[in-house]
């Protein structure tokens, strides 16, 4: 059932990547009376985006110029990015021929992909994208500015908290994850017994968790996901949802630690209910990474 309202407010652009977050964000913005004009990235965005947006344009990942023209044609002056953009597709054979980037994309990114003149870190590429939209009068804003209630609050989110040893793993993993973020490598580490099992890179959080499960047959490990110290809240904000927890269950992980005020939990009530049902512990910590939440049984 469509959630697009019959009375419309100011237009807003949405660049939708992978996952359910873009769809939920579009639905929430539409319910607030915003006209949502969506650039849905082919191979990433859900088909259901069309149910919640005023208009949707499906474009390949190499169509930057077309995306900018689409927003300008509809009077969009502010836009936001939501969802995961799988950078691994850039490394597939014949990527350029398969995606046929438009002239704007070629002009902007030739120094990144055709000649070794600039790096291809996430922040670098996304900052270039935001800069190009800004050149044409479209400001890329953080989704969390539009809906600050999306950000997780400090505290123990589940009935169960981490044990003493797991709290030590959280604090150990926190510092490592912050350093990986500072280097713009990834946001997630998996730890057990203060030994690193896996570090997220281009493969993403879920693949990182699954790899940790393959390496730790006994399970019971801790996953720590934090924002970068220099986090640009316009893009690549740490996000978790049911898929994250399902990956943890499959890999036999036990604890998830995230950063308060810097992490989005998609459908938080459903996520917490699922975690409680499967005996997972989720905590949201402040940037110091000190875990003060004990397991219920341990504290009793």
Rounded Cα distance between 170 and 163, Å, is 10
Q: Supply 55's token pair.
A: 């208009």
Q: Are 171 and 290 in contact (CB under 8 A)?
A: yes
The architecture that CATH gives domain 151-299 is 3-Layer(aba) Sandwich (3.40)
Give, for 72, the enclosing helix (H) or strand (E): helix 64-73
Please state the pTM of the whole predicted model.
0.83
Do 151-299 and 11-146 fall under one CATH topology?
no
Residue 174 near residue 196, CB atoms below 8 Å: no
Structure confidence at residue 6 as a pLDDT band (50, 70, 90): very low
Residue 195 has pLDDT above 90, yes or no: yes
pLDDT at residue number 97: 54
Residue 68 to residues 1, 120, 179, 268, Cα–Cα distance (Å)? 29, 22, 34, 33
What would the mean pLDDT of 167-175 be, rounded to a whole number? 96
Chain segment 137-159, per-residue pLDDT in tens: 999 999 988 888 889 999 999 99
Least confident of 185-189, 217-221, 280-284, 295-299: 295-299
Strand ranges (E), 42-117: 55-59, 78-82
pLDDT digits (tens, 9 = 90+) for 113-128: 666 667 767 778 888 8
Residue 7: the pLDDT is 41
Q: What is the mean pLDDT of residues 284-298?
A: 74
- pLDDT-based confidence at residue 239 (cuts at 50, 70, 90): very high
Second CATH level (architecture) for the domain 11-146: 3-Layer(aba) Sandwich (3.40)
Comparing 158-167, 179-188, 272-281, the range with the smallest average pLDDT is 179-188
Strand spans (E) along 51-154: 55-59, 78-82, 139-140
Question: How is residue 152 written in tokens?
Answer: 């997780």
* Token output for 209: 């968790």
Planar angle of CA 227, 126, 238, nearest 5 degrees: 20
- Domain positions in the chain are 11-146, 151-299
């Amino acid at each position: 059932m469509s959630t697009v309202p019959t009375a419309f407010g100011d237009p807003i652009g949405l660049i939708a990547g992978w996952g359910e977050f873009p769809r939920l964000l579009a639905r929430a913005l539409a319910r607030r009376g915003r006209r949502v004009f969506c650039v849905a990235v082919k191979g990433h965005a859900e088909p259901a985006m069309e149910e919640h947006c005023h208009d949707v344009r499906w474009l390949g990942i190499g169509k930057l110029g077309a995306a900018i023209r689409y927003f300008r044609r509809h009077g969009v002056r502010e836009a936001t990015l939501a969802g995961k953009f799988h950078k691994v597709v850039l490394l597939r054979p014949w990527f350029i021929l398969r995606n046929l980037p438009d002239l704007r994309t070629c002009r902007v990114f030739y120094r990144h992909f055709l000649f070794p003149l600039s790096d291809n870190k996430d922040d670098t590429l996304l900052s270039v994208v935001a800069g190009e939209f800004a050149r044409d009068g479209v400001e890329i804003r953080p989704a969390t500015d539009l809906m600050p209630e999306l950000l997780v609050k400090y505290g123990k989110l589940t009935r169960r908290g981490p044990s003493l040893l797991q709290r030590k793993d959280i604090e150990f993993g926190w510092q490592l994850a912050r350093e990986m973020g500072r280097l713009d490598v990834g946001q997630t580490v998996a730890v057990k017994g203060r030994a690193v099992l896996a570090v997220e890179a281009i493969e993403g959080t879920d693949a990182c968790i699954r790899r940790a499960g393959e390496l730790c047959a006994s399970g019971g490990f801790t996953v720590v996901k934090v924002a970068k110290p220099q986090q640009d809240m316009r893009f690549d904000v740490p996000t978790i949802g049911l898929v994250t927890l399902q990956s943890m269950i499959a890999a036999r992980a036990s604890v998830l630690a995230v950063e308060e005020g810097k992490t989005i939990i998609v459908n938080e009530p459903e996520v917490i209910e699922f975690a409680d049902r499967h005996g997972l512990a989720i905590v949201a910590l402040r940037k110091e990474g000190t875990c003060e939440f004990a397991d219920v049984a341990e504290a009793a």
